[in-house]
Structure 1
Amino acid sequence: MSSKHSSLVHNHFSKAPFNRRIYAFLLDFITIWFLSSFFKGILQNTIFIFIWLILKVVVVFKNKGQSLGNWAFDLKITSVRCGRIPRLDEILKREITLGLLALLAILGFSINLNNGLSMLLLITPLIVDFSAALGSQKRYSQTLHDMISNTILIQAQRGFSLDLRIKKIFKIIHKKYLKSLR
């Protein structure tokens, strides 16, 4: 597909805000990390990858391009190739790459501050991956794992709008707090 045709296919999509991308990733990451934390050692890492593949590949493929985090923040994965939900092999490439980076970050966090340099080295690939989206000049800023799989993350009509709901709750709490001070 030519780049001219590719850009025409994707002009009607809304770019995913970077903060929502991070929130969605963190929700998925923490959920999967929590579920795998009931195990120890190499079994924990194996369970992490297994759950990652189930929730980030199978669920995304069956759920119109949305994982739990993407659904919670109104995002979905789309193929650059066709402008629709990516094929299973594209999702698999994307999530294996991201899952391995997330696993490295978990290993870094497990080292904790006992060896700060090793922790930093293990977390850095994930930071670099997401930083690529900040430096991207393309209309749909892609992370490295998106570039590898030829996908983009876009805003979706379908979702829970968790960040907007939390902002609304904080606004209500703030107003009630200000009233109580008067």
Structure 2
Amino acid sequence: MGAISRQIPPPLPLAQPWRRGAATMIDFLLAWLFSVLGYSPGAAIQWAQILVFFIAWWGLRVAFVNRNRGQSPGHWLMDVRLLDRRGRTPDFISLNKRELVMGVCALLTLVVLETFGRGFTVLLLLAPLLINCAPAWVDERHRTLHDRLGATEVYRCYRGFSLDRKLIQIMSKLRKDV
């Protein structure tokens, strides 16, 4: 008779693929900026840059997410959060599995951008990224292959910078002023 009813908050909405892509792009650019520290002029293969990129990617997408309630810097800027199937921040193993796949795709993208590849080479190097991310556009839960491997999902949240909304406000203000 004296049972207390718990109010369960409504589930967070899933993040749209474009929002997830923007967050990943921000993290990629940050890791790329760090990787410039490992650049060796004149070297045919930039092993130091690749190592620094992987360390930066792991730091941003695994260590930072693990300590920051499921948000990398890009996720924080775009108001999205990574959660596991139980609605919690994924454990360290799941994050590592997930980001190993995405890190390899990001590294291949870095190679394309650094070498200015053309034609078939670009398609060959970007194919893993496209194969990994394409299911997000057709799956009703917007899960990519790396989400399925890590048993994670990306949700909208109310904890972040709201970069997309701030850019829209700036653009509308600029349009009014012009």
Q: CA deviation at 1:174?
A: 0.5
Identity of matched residues, %: 31
Q: Of 102, 106, 116, which aligns to 2:119?
A: 116
SS in 1 for 2:167: helix
Q: Which residue of 2 aligns with 1:33?
A: 32
Corresponding residue number in structure 1 for 2:17 = 18
Paired letter, 2:92: L
**Which residue number corresponds to residue 175 of structure 2?**
174
Aligned residues of 1:108 and 1:120 also touching (Cα < 8 A): no
Amino acid at match of 2:27: D
| Inter-partner Cα distance in structure 1 for 2:56 and 2:113 | 19
What displacement does 1:38 show? 2.8
Q: Which runs of 5 or more residues in structure 2 are unaligned? A: 1-7, 40-45
Q: Following superposition, which runs of at least 4 residues in structure 1 exceed 3 angstroms of deviation?
A: none
Q: What displacement does 1:110 show?
A: 2.2
Q: 1:37: Cα distance to partner? A: 1.8
Residue 66, structure 1, aligned to residue 71, structure 2 = yes
Residue 111 of structure 1 deviates from its aligned partner by 2.6
Structure with a larger share of its residues in helix: 1
**TM-score, normalization by structure 2:** 0.88
Q: Cα deviations across residues 64-97 of structure 1 (Å, max 9, x unaligned)?
A: 00000000000010001x1211111111111111
Residue segments in structure 1 that go unaligned for 5+ positions in a row: 1-8, 178-182
Is 1:88 matched with 2:92?
yes
The number of aligned residues is 165
Of 102, 105, 114, the residue aligned with 2:106 is: 102
Q: If the length of structure 1 is used for normalisation, what is the TM-score?
A: 0.86
Q: Does 1:128 align with 2:127?
A: no
Tell me the residue number matched to 1:4. Answer: none
Note if contact 2:108-2:126 (Cα within 8 Å) is conserved in structure 1: yes
